Structure 1
Amino acid sequence: MKKLLFLVLLFSFCVYGQTEDEKQLRAIYDKALLDARGYDWLEHLSNQIGPRLSGSLNAERAVTYMREQLDSLGLDRVWLQPVMVPKWVRGIPEVAYIETSPGMTNNVPICALGGSVATPAGGLKAKVVEVQGLEDLAALGREKIEGRIVFYNRPMQANLIETFEAYGGCVDQRYSGAREAAKYGAAGVIVRSMNLRLDDLPHAGAMSYGDLPAEQRIPAAAISTNGAELLSGMLTLNPEINFYFKQNCRQLADVQSYNVIGEIKGSEHPGEVMVVGGHLDSWDLGDGAHDDGAGCVQSMEVLRLLRETGYRPKRTLRVVLFMNEENGLRGGNKYAEVAREKNEKHVFALESDAGGFTPRGFTLECTDEQYELILNWKPLFEPYLIHLFQRGYSGADIRPLKGGDLLLAGLRPDSQRYFDHHHAANDTFEHVNKRELQLGAATMAALVYLVDKYL
């Protein structure tokens, strides 16, 4: 009899809770779609401020603007967290061409990779050796590489439905390509852009020399996918063609910047912290609207949507706009360092850093018990076409917090168009759909609400 009574009470609680939760999620989505703020914030960030490379004037203008917007939301606290960041500058635009014979050239679009050294003042011209990946270098050996430009031409694997998996399958040639090629005496490196379509837009991104001495570092640039196809085809016809490129980038001394943070103090458990965030810095070719202005304004919207739908979080809810994800991860590391120093207890962290496209769900780094709990919420999201709840990578800026039973989550939008824009000149505001952006913000707010209520 007691067992039956318990089941009846449990069923009644679940039905009531589900009804209450359905109403709250509906209110969140209604507010996001009918009374949007994030899209306006993103318009200003993208069009009035623009590219926000770490250490740049625009990055600091973005810090000031986003702090002002957080102040306007009436949060319990808003502050700046100092962090030293690298300052790499591109200089005047890069130039490159393929030379088939003296005076016969074809211009191709390139861009210096973030962190690269410059070419000599007059540029670099050398013969080219094409490879499909880092592993090809050892097979070729110093004899076939020394004095040449190594051309990494492994494309993203187009038959992988998960485009981030395709990206992960070839990004090592961008990040480590120059370091490895220099060991064989290469003069420079050209890397096929991380892009699934064929176009004339080179895609930037970070690269690293590791512990390679400064005098051994060689210039590295990305070439557009159309340019890569042209270069590969011309090498097939004539392996002795030359490639010329000139870039003027420089690595300057570190400068101080800031993470921008705002919070709503928890009504019941203020010592337990939930974080939502994105990274405020961007590459300098476009205006960083998808990567990651979208994630920043969505995270800010989470706090606004919960406040304006009347929900007061039981735990402290904090938005963090991280600085320097693109070429150093200094902001994420600094935030985690300070949290440890203050002995803060973080119970949940959610990041949006996959573009402002239509949300599909979440990837989760969590315990088995947490995963089963979240799967029980899936029916609440299905009316909004959110179906993806799977274990996987959460986000670069929140991962330094990882440890214990901390639940980490990453918003996962539809990614099929993301790498058309990623780190390229067309990562601009006009390519962000207002409705898709706001749906993502609402989806994040819905998960935060449920975690706060039931975790």
Structure 2
Amino acid sequence: MKKILTLLLLAALSTFGQSEDESQIKAIYDAALTKGKAYDWLNHLSNQIGGRLSGSVQAQQAVDFTKVQLDSLGLDRVWLQPVLVPKWVRGTPEYAFIETSPGLTNTVPICALGGSVATPPAGIKANVVEVKKIGQLAELGRSNIEGKIVFYNREMDPTLINTFQAYSGCVDQRYSGAAEAAKYGAIGVIVRSMNLRLDDYPHTGSMSYGELPVPERIPAAAISTNGADLLSATLKLNPGMKFYFKQNCKQLEDVESYNVVGEIKGSRFPDEIMVVGGHLDSWDLGDGAHDDGAGCVQSMDVLNLLRITGYRPQRTLRVVLFMNEENGMRGGNKYAAIAKSIKERHVFALESDAGGFSPRGFSFDCSSSNFDRILGWSKLFEPYGVHSFKKGGSGADIGPLKNDEIVLAGLRPDSQRYFDHHHAENDTFEHVNKRELQLGTAAMASLVYLFDKYGIVIE
């Protein structure tokens, strides 16, 4: 009888705890959809500040704005964490055309890749060699590449439902394509934009020359998907055609910038730190609304929603707006280095860097024991359309915090439209749906609440 009464008591306590969690999560969602600040903050970041390229005036304006907003929430502490960041500038707009015969040209949309060198002042015009993979360069050999422009034309795989997987499958041509082509004597590189749809928006993104000496570096640009298809078709019909492009970008000396950090001190376990964040910098072609203004304002609003609902975190909760994710990862690395140097104990970190679309779930980098506990919470999210809980990646900026103890998580919204806007001119505020953004914030705040209330499993 005593054993039966004990089991009944445990069941009752479990039911009570679940009911309490359901009520708190409902309160979080209600507050997000009626009193959330994320959309208004994003409006200002996007429309009053704009693209926030690392080291730019706009990036500093974003630092100043978000610090003021965090100060207004009445947090226990708000501060700026200095970090030295690269400063690359695009210069005047890029220009390119396909020349099928002398004087007969078709202009195509291009943009310089982040970190690229400029073309000579008069631009570059040369024959083109098209490849699908970097490995094809070795097959062609120097004799077929030297003095030409290499055109990387590998598409994102449309059969992959996970669009981030499709992106990962071809982004190497953007990141390493110029460094590899230069080894074979190419004088420039054109890369098909990482985009699943056909349009006229070239998509920029980070590229690297590796250890290639500065005098040997060649200019690299992205071409829109429509432009890539036109270039490929023209090349098949007229192998002797030429491509011209001109860009004026430049790498300057590193400058000082900041991570923006806000904190609510834990009421019971102040030495256990939980982080929620996104990256404050963006590319300069649009206004960085989805990538990653959305993640920043959602992370800020997580603290606001917990405050509105009257929940006082047991563990120290920080929002961190990381600087320089796009072209250097300096902010994430600096935050982790400082945390390690002062022996802070981080137990949980959540990043939003996949756009402001409808939340579908989370991915986790954690132990099996912690993941089993997470799966036990999945029913609490089902009423809100959040159903996917998977082990996998988390986020670039929180990755440097990884150790054997911490739980790392990434918000996973519906990704089907994300790469339509990623790193392009149309990553703008009007393409973010207010309700979808708010639902993502609520999902994040709910996960933070559960980890704060129950802690992590120590193995």
Structure 2 CA distance for aligned equivalents of residues 363 and 400 of structure 1: 17
CA RMSD across the alignment = 0.6
Counterpart in 2 of 1:239?
A: 239
Counterpart in 1 of 2:346?
A: 346
Structure 2 CA distance for aligned equivalents of residues 355 and 6 of structure 1: 47
Counterpart in 2 of 1:71?
A: 71
Counterpart in 2 of 1:444?
A: 444
| SS of equivalent residue, structure 2 residue 141 | helix
Superposed CA deviations along residues 177-226 of structure 1, whole A, max 9, x for unmatched, are: 00000011111000000000000000010000001001110000000000
Counterpart in 2 of 1:127?
A: 127
| SS of equivalent residue, structure 2 residue 166 | helix
Counterpart in 2 of 1:422?
A: 422
| SS of equivalent residue, structure 2 residue 362 | strand
Structure 2 CA distance for aligned equivalents of residues 401 and 392 of structure 1: 16
Counterpart in 1 of 2:56?
A: 56
In the TM superposition, 1:176-187 aligns within 5 A as 176-187=176-187
Structure 1 CA distance for aligned equivalents of residues 170 and 381 of structure 2: 34
1:304 aligns with 2:301: no
| SS of equivalent residue, structure 1 residue 159 | coil
Superposed CA deviations along residues 143-163 of structure 1, whole A, max 9, x for unmatched, are: 111110000000000010000
1:94 aligns with 2:90: no
In the TM superposition, 1:293-372 aligns within 5 A as 293-372=293-372
Q: CA deviation at 1:4?
A: 2.7
Superposed CA deviations along residues 356-412 of structure 1, whole A, max 9, x for unmatched, are: 000001000010100000000011000001000000110000000001110000000
More displaced 10-residue stretch of structure 1: 264-273 or 1-10: 1-10
Counterpart in 2 of 1:188?
A: 188
Counterpart in 1 of 2:399?
A: 399
Structure 1 CA distance for aligned equivalents of residues 393 and 46 of structure 2: 27
Structure 2 CA distance for aligned equivalents of residues 151 and 397 of structure 1: 31
Counterpart in 2 of 1:253?
A: 253
Counterpart in 2 of 1:155?
A: 155
Structure 1 CA distance for aligned equivalents of residues 99 and 3 of structure 2: 83
| SS of equivalent residue, structure 1 residue 212 | coil
Match of 1:26, as an amino acid?
K
Q: CA deviation at 1:35?
A: 1.1
Match of 2:212, as an amino acid?
L
Match of 1:110, as an amino acid?
I
Counterpart in 2 of 1:410?
A: 410
Q: CA deviation at 1:2?
A: 4.5
Counterpart in 1 of 2:116?
A: 116
Q: CA deviation at 1:6?
A: 3.0
* TM-score normalised by structure 2 residue count: 0.99
Match of 1:55, as an amino acid?
G
Structure 2 CA distance for aligned equivalents of residues 123 and 308 of structure 1: 56
| SS of equivalent residue, structure 1 residue 230 | helix
Counterpart in 2 of 1:26?
A: 26
1:291 aligns with 2:288: no
Structure 1 CA distance for aligned equivalents of residues 7 and 105 of structure 2: 79
Match of 1:266, as an amino acid?
G
Counterpart in 2 of 1:167?
A: 167
Structure 1 unaligned residues grouped into runs of 5+: none
Match of 2:71, as an amino acid?
D
Q: CA deviation at 1:10?
A: 1.6
Q: CA deviation at 1:348?
A: 0.1
* TM-score normalised by structure 1 residue count: 0.99
Structure 1 CA distance for aligned equivalents of residues 188 and 87 of structure 2: 22
Counterpart in 2 of 1:229?
A: 229
Q: CA deviation at 1:446?
A: 0.1
What fraction of aligned residue pairs are identical, expressed as a percent?
Answer: 73
| SS of equivalent residue, structure 1 residue 143 | helix
In the TM superposition, 1:376-391 aligns within 5 A as 376-391=376-391
More displaced 10-residue stretch of structure 1: 6-15 or 440-449: 6-15
Match of 1:28, as an amino acid?
I
1:9 aligns with 2:3: no
Superposed CA deviations along residues 242-272 of structure 1, whole A, max 9, x for unmatched, are: 0000000000000000000000000000001
Structure 2 CA distance for aligned equivalents of residues 186 and 270 of structure 1: 56
Structure 2 CA distance for aligned equivalents of residues 14 and 397 of structure 1: 36
Structure 1 CA distance for aligned equivalents of residues 158 and 66 of structure 2: 37
Structure 2 CA distance for aligned equivalents of residues 433 and 204 of structure 1: 24
In the TM superposition, 1:32-47 aligns within 5 A as 32-47=32-47
Q: CA deviation at 1:7?
A: 1.9
Structure 2 unaligned residues grouped into runs of 5+: none
The answer to whether the Cα contact below 8 Å between 2:36 and 2:305 also exists between their aligned partners in 1 is no
Match of 1:372, as an amino acid?
D
Structure 2 CA distance for aligned equivalents of residues 53 and 157 of structure 1: 29
| Runs of 4+ off more than 4 Å | none
Equivalent residue pairs, number: 455
| SS of equivalent residue, structure 1 residue 121 | coil
The answer to whether the Cα contact below 8 Å between 2:205 and 2:326 also exists between their aligned partners in 1 is yes
More displaced 10-residue stretch of structure 1: 227-236 or 1-10: 1-10
| SS of equivalent residue, structure 1 residue 361 | strand
Structure 2 CA distance for aligned equivalents of residues 197 and 367 of structure 1: 37
Structure 2 CA distance for aligned equivalents of residues 241 and 38 of structure 1: 50
